[in-house]
Structure 1
Amino acid sequence: MGLGDKISNAAEEAKGKAKKAAGDATDNPRLQAEGQADKSSANVKQAGENVKDALK
């Protein structure tokens, strides 16, 4: 896994956490869902990169 991928995935996860926290603070379910989706997407990408690393 390249350093760029790691940074990109970490940034996407951080963005998701921030969105979810903002949604929680403002009681905005749409923003909460978007944040959770961003976090989940980053986690799936991270898992895929880990599998690629394991196969090397």
Structure 2
Amino acid sequence: MLTPTAVEKVDKIAEQMRLTRSEVLERLIRTECLDLDLLSKISGNISEQKNSR
């Protein structure tokens, strides 16, 4: 399940690319960003990320 913010971001990209939400997510999953080392470096706490900006 995606957060409302994630849905908005994915939908915005999908609209611009004329794709479905599923197609955008499929493309994202196939990229290098779905990497254990990279994902482990990203904080899971969204509020921490906002406060650090």
For the criterion TM > 0.5, the same-fold answer is no
Please give the TM-score of this superposition, normalised by the length of structure 1.
0.33
* Greater fraction of residues in helix: 1
**TM-score scaled to structure 2, two decimals?**
0.35
Higher relative contact order (CA 8 A, sep 6+): 1
